[in-house]
């Protein structure tokens, strides 16, 4: 991006109710708290959205402040490439990066994928998340979603073999992927992996805590294991080659689409399979992530499906199919 002088910045915190609640091993929440950025130049406005995540020490208020602190730099002509150095990876940079790409695309009269010289995204099957609960409750929730071809099952440690067996019985035809959100231990790792293999699970995401996942390199993994909390941007890829088979790329971790696309290229070069994931958020968060889907084996962009309402011009979902964004939304 060439320098755009007099870029103005606006940012705010927005809240979207979740349908019911969203429960993982670290707890439950009933709303998605996002930070929305708007960057404007020459009567055009680009938008981006992020979800600050307490697991990484982020809060909505601190994220908003970090974004607002970039106003002077943006007004002075800070480019998107310079932004990658000016801010660390994380939610704040993600929202700004995506807003700047949206603004660049509008200014050039191009769709974002053409601007960035990436493949045109098409419709993809997205995973649909089943929250962590007792086996009976998870089976009931799964039964309602058993028509979906790909389900992502949240697990949480003790009792997980019973949970995944109950889920599989309730959805005998669906492909299952599992997310333990760091809740397993070395003591139950192999037992839980075996239970997932028995249930025909395709992939297990982040079974052990980040930084305490060395055991994955010492065991025979019966199914593919995907890094999430253990991987953030390109710099974190190489040390994981012996422990993981796949990596979950999330724009809120990479610090935006610019790094996410570079990370996807690097991950493929290292032999990792790719999942493109999301936090629970609106279609404005999902839209930039659609540009990574041509490289992804797994697409997990169901955030808007978990909300009671999405924003205007949201992504089109047809069952489990998700379609690329209209330019009225982003890019």
Residue pLDDT, tens place only, 43-94 = 999 999 999 999 899 999 999 999 999 999 999 999 999 999 999 999 999 9
Give residue 76's pLDDT.
92
- Tell the burial category of 79 from Cβ atoms under 10 Å away from its Cβ (0-12, 13-18, 19+): middle
- In angstroms, the CA 145 to CA 320 distance is 10
* Prediction pTM value: 0.94
Active site residues: 154, 250
Contacts of 220 (CB under 8 A, 6+ apart): none
> Which fold, 8-115?
Enolase-like; domain 1 (3.30.390)
- ∠ CA 145-149-155, nearest 5°, is 60
User: What is the pLDDT averaged over residues 104-112?
Assistant: 97
Average pLDDT, the chain: 95
What is the pLDDT, as a whole number, of residue 202?
Answer: 98
Task: Say how far apart CA 38 and CA 46 lie, in whole Å.
Answer: 6
Instruction: For the chain, give every residue range classified as CATH 3.30.390.10.
Output: 8-115
Superfamily of domain 124-322: Enolase-like C-terminal domain (3.20.20.120)
pLDDT at 28: 72
- Which segments of the chain belong to CATH 3.20.20.120? 124-322
pLDDT at residue number 2: 46
What residues contact 269, with CB distance under 8 A and at least 6 apart? Answer: none
Q: Nearest-CA neighbor of 286 among 49, 93, 18?
A: 49
């Amino acid at each position: 991006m060439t320098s755009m002088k007099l870029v103005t910045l606006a940012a705010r915190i927005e809240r979207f109710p979740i349908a019911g609640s969203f429960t993982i091993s670290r707890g439950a929440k009933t709303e998605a708290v996002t930070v929305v950025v708007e960057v404007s130049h020459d009567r055009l406005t680009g938008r981006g959205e992020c979800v600050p995540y307490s697991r990484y020490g982020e809060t909505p208020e601190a994220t908003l402040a970090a974004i607002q602190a970039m106003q002077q730099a943006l007004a002075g002509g800070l480019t998107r490439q310079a932004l990658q150095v000016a801010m660390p990876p994380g939610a704040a940079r993600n929202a700004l990066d995506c807003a700047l790409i949206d603004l660049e695309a509008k200014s050039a009269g191009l769709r974002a994928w053409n601007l960035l010289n990436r493949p045109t995204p098409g419709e993809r099957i997205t995973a649909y998340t089943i929250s962590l609960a007792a086996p009976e409750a998870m089976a009931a929730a799964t039964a309602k979603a058993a028509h979906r071809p790909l389900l992502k099952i949240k697990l949480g440690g003790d009792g997980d073999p019973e949970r995944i067996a109950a889920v599989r019985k309730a959805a005998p035809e669906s492909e299952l992927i599992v997310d333990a959100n760091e809740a397993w231990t070395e003591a139950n790792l192999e037992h839980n992996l075996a239970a997932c293999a028995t249930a025909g699970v395709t992939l297990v995401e982040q079974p052990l805590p980040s930084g305490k996942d060395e055991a994955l390199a010492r065991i025979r993994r019966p199914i593919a294991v995907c890094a999430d909390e253990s991987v953030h941007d390109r710099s974190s890829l190489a040390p994981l080659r012996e422990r993981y088979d796949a990596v979950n790329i999330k724009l809120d971790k990479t610090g935006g689409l610019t790094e996410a696309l570079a990370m996807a290229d690097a991950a493929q070069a290292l032999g990792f399979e790719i999942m493109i994931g999301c936090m629970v958020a609106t279609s404005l968060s999902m839209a930039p992530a659609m540009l990574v889907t041509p490289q992804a084996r797994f697409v997990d962009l169901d955030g808007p499906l978990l909300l009671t309402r999405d924003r205007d011009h949201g992504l089109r979902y047809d069952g489990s199919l998700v379609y690329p964004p209209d330019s009225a939304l982003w890019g």
